Structure 1
Amino acid sequence: MFKSVFFILRIGIAWGIATMLVVALYSGLPLIGQFQAPAILFAFGTMGLVIAGAFSHLHRVRLIAGRVADETLDNRQKRVIEIPLEAGEAFDLVDAAIRELPGAEGVRSARDSLQVRAKIARPHLYGEPPLQRWNPLLWFAPDHNQLQATVTPAGDSGRVTLICEPESPAWSDWFLVDDGTNFENAEAIARAITRRIGERRRGERASAAQTATEKELTEAKLHLLHAQVEPHFLYNTLASAQLLTRSDPARAEAMLGHLIQYLRRSLPDAKDDMSTLGVELERALAYLEILKIRMGDRLAVQVDVPQALRATTLPAMMLQTLVENAIKHGLEPRTGGGTVWIRARPDDGGVAVTVADDGEGFNSKTSGTGIGLKNVRERLRLRYAGSANLSVIANFPSGVAATITVPAAVPSNGAGHE
């Protein structure tokens, strides 16, 4: 209540002094000045309209802000808003919010200085009343408000200083009111910034949730592969071991030993879906040793994996997938068999693991469906977010070479194990 009374008294006194000066000048005019009635009517009419306009301003501010206080009554509004984005992104967000403000005209933005200036047309709040031109509070009122936003970098965030004010000098605030339009503009921009940040955060959460879901689905498929050793491979191995127990017990025992080693490494680990290059190499070699017993001289294996690289973190079963592809689609269809190479080398801050063969190569009859390689690429994308890749090229003079390149460091969401 006190704020409202003080505001009306302040603007009433300012207009009262101005009216007295006008009346004094009128009274000093020769001949006309002796007629006091027009001066009295002017003084009382002006003050009546001023007081009515002040009450209208108070009422609208109370409707907009829900309270009457110095900061809500003021024609000039200032806001300092912290935006949890890098200064450039914060500038783009503020610039877009200002351009969508109703009545925004002549928006000028300077990205280098992180400033935005604009003019905002004043709305006709109560239409065009016939007595509007007689309202003293509108005699000198500008048609536009103005706005300035400056973004100040603050580490990983941006601090926005927003100023909304009439397009008139500060002394005019003693005589003019803005009917809360600048308070409205400042609050509207603050709401728009909050809404845009909220939308951005929801989009990030949705993207993260989708990525997590995709990752869970991919890893679920992996665990299923872990739990279900390929039936044909297991059946053929056991059948071969059964035959060898009669003709060559030593080879049968060796085959069963390699099968046990392979199964031990192939059982799913519910705690971790990551492994190391060393562990995956043991699994792949156990698999290849079984096949060497079955295929005999048709299969040769060459391994060149330095001991220093064997601790490299690698998604489980990924190397196995490449080895199986080399056997199934490269060497098994070939009468004379061939060689499988497994190599690892440092590669520009990462580690490149290559599985190559000298088999059939890119032959449409033996190339398979490509599901295995597609799953490898998808797992690399989900696990390493673009910092790992799979390349498949023709091997010279024949066959295929598949190379997985992963960061040398352990990713934060997975850890290797021996």
Structure 2
Amino acid sequence: MSLQLVFIARRLLAWGLLFLLAGMVWDSLPLPDVLPFFFLYVLAAVFVVTLGFSHLRRVRMIAGHLDAATVSNRQRRQVEIPLDADEAFAVLDAAIRELPYVQDVESARDSLQVRARTCGPQSPDVDSDWTVRVGRFFNGLFRTRRNRILATITPGDAVSSATLICEPESDAWNDWFRVDDGTNLENAEAITRAITRRVSERRRSEQAAARQTATEKELTVAKLSLLHAQVEPHFLYNTLASAQVLTRHDPQRADLMLGHLIDYLRRSLPRTDESISTLGDELERSQAYLEILKLRMGPRLQVQLDVPDDLRAIPLPPMMLQTLVENAIKHGLEPKPGGGTVWLLARASERKLAVTVADDGIGFSTDEGRRQTAGTGIGLKNVRERLRLVYGDTAAQLSVVANFPHGVAATITVPLVLPPGAVASPATRTAPVRSARDEVTDHE
């Protein structure tokens, strides 16, 4: 109650001093008596008290309490926005533009400032109605009609600070005579709420996107694990059938073929803690596969390997090199009557690793070759998709081109460094590699 009385009394005193000064000036001049000034002051006091209590009541309704800060015509807010400066400025600008009766919004993005004006709903402009004109006169005499907003963003480290000033357009001394009826408090609270709402919406959108990304990643990992676990049935059946035939005529070659098959299967079966292999492990897997095919195809298949030893420890997603080798055999050399050669090459330059599988098979000479080398085969699609999932859209790529004078060359290009979030396999942590023969001995 004391705050309300002080608030009303201060304005009554200001208007009383104004009328006293006007009366003294009037009395010093050869003019009629100053008595009318007393009646005018009484009339002004009625308006001051009425509008003062109306202002206090509206402030209490908006803020829920009364204090020196809330009842003031001029409001200042400091709002912390957990965004960088550009995003915080966009949020603040949108919040101000959403205010009712906002006018003349000026955004200065370089200086991170927003200026605007607001005014309340206007009465109809009816010149013939003298009551409207009188009402507007007294409303402008005892209440502020237009307010202004100045908002500034101060950049910070991942958190920006918004300084918000809502005040009447008139000078500060007018606050002794007029009230804003809580409009600036309402504007400050509305802008603060709008900023909070927009930041919350942004956070919910980011969390939803993160959940969706995590779900998609889990589904993709499950799909890739399934692909990793797959061993081509025809290859397995043909190898076992060839080993069965060799046991009758050439047991030594049969034993060698089964050893390569065990090594291949050991490296092809998925591991629960493995998502990234190494170039060395992938080469050993592919070599085991090629050794089996060399026993089956005989002199029709030749293999040449050119991979520096210092590149073998570089991380590489599993089974991609194997897919390229299988494509080279299946679509390049097996359909060719005389067979041919498969080259496995690896080079590092400019923070990139390039691994190439080339052959001198049928290449683009048939519809099947053109279809596979153009990337429409399931195997090549899987390779491209896995590169995108592990390294992103642009960091890694698969290119398939013609190999001169015959055949096809497929090259995987990946960064030398693992992307964030990738998990290295035990092989990348220099775990000892055991041979297939050792594992068979353990089981015996």
* TM-score normalised by length of structure 2: 0.85
Q: In the alignment, which residue of structure 1 is the partner of 2:439?
A: none
Q: RMSD across aligned C-alpha pairs, in angstroms?
A: 2.6
Q: Which residue of 2 aligns with 1:365?
A: 368
Query: Could you say if the C-alpha distance between residues 260 and 191 of structure 1 is closer, same or farther in structure 2, counting changes exceeding 3 Å?
Result: same
Cα distance per residue 1:335-366 (max 9 Å; x no partner): 23222222222232122222222333344324
Partner of 1:307: 309
| Identity between Structure 1 and Structure 2 (%) | 59
Q: Which region of structure 1 is more displaced relative to structure 2, 76-85 or 257-266?
A: 76-85
Q: Is the 8 A contact 2:85 2:155 kept in 1?
A: yes
Corresponding residue of 1:79? 77
Alignment of 1:219-238 (within 5 A): 219-238=221-240
> Which residue does the alignment assign to 1:160?
162
Q: Which letter maps to 1:189?
A: I
Distance 2:347 2:334 in 1: 27
**Aligned positions, number:** 415
Task: Tell me if 1:147 matches 2:149.
Answer: yes
Residues 166 and 185 of structure 2 are in contact (CA less than 8 Å); yes or no, is this contact kept in structure 1?
yes
Check whether the contact 1:391–1:403 (CA below 8 A) recurs between aligned residues.
yes
For 1:174-203, what per-residue CA distance to the aligned partner results, in whole angstroms no more than 9, with x for missing partners? 112112222222222222222222222222
Question: What is the distance in 2 between the residues matched to 1:331 and 1:145?
Answer: 82
SS at match of 1:237: helix
Give how far 1:221 is off.
1.5
For 1:20 and 1:65, the matched residues in 2 are separated by 36
Aligned to 2:113: 115
Match of residue 16 from structure 1: 16
Partner of 1:250: 252
Listed one character per residue, the Cα deviations across residues 18-38 of structure 1 (whole Å, up to 9, x for unaligned) are: 23334444555645326x3x4
Q: Which runs of 5+ in 1 are unaligned?
A: none
Q: Counterpart in 2 of 1:102?
A: 100
Distance 1:340 1:205 in 2: 48
The change in CA–CA distance for 1:140 and 1:222 in structure 2 (over 3 A counts) is: same
| 1:330 aligned residue (332, 352, 359) | 332
Partner of 2:33: 33
How do 1:211-226 and structure 2 match up within 5 A?
211-226=213-228
Shift of 1:218: 1.8
Residue 388 of structure 1 aligns to a residue whose secondary structure is coil
Paired with 2:269 and 2:164, the residues of 1 have a C-alpha distance of 61
In structure 2, give the amino acid aligned to 1:373. L
Distance change in 2, residues 1:383/1:29 (3 Å): same
What CA deviation, in whole Å up to 9, does each residue of 1:49-107 have, x standing for no partner? Answer: 11110111111111111111222112212222222222222223322322333333222
What corresponds to 1:392 in structure 2?
Answer: 399
Q: Return the alpha-carbon distance in structure 1 between the equivalents of residues 227 and 354 of structure 2.
A: 24
Name the residue aligned to 2:415: 407
The 2-side partners of 1:205 and 1:347 are apart by 38
Cα deviation, 1:393-416, whole Å, max 9, x if unaligned, reads 313323333222222223332224
Structure 2: runs of 5 or more not aligned: 428-444
Letter in 1 for 2:94: A
One-letter identity of the residue aligned with 2:359: D
Question: Could you tell me how far apart the structure 1 residues matched to 2:258 and 2:273 are?
Answer: 28
**Pair 1:296–1:222, CA change in 2 (3 A):** same
Which deviations, in whole Å up to 9, do the C-alpha atoms of 1:258-278 show, x marking residues without a partner?
110111111111122221111
The alignment status of 1:374 with 2:396, answered yes or no, reads: no
> Does structure 2 conserve the Cα–Cα contact (< 8 Å) formed by 1:390 and 1:402?
no
Aligned residues of 1:152 and 1:158 also touching (Cα < 8 A): yes
After superposition, the Cα gap between the structure-2 partners of 1:132 and 1:205, relative to the gap in structure 1 and judged at 3 Å, is same
Residue type of the alignment partner of 1:177? V
Q: CA deviation at 1:320?
A: 1.7
Secondary structure class of the residue paired with 2:219: helix
**Residue among 53, 56, 59 paired with 1:58:** 56
| 2:358–2:403 CA contact under 8 A, matched in 1 | no
Query: Would the aligned equivalents of 1:93 and 1:193 in 2 still touch at CA under 8 Å?
Result: yes
47 and 412 in structure 1: CA distance in 2 versus 1, 3 angstrom threshold: same
1:72 match: secondary structure:
coil
Residues 276 and 417 of structure 1 are in contact (CA less than 8 Å); yes or no, is this contact kept in structure 2?
A: no
1:300/1:176 CA distance change after superposition, 3 Å: farther
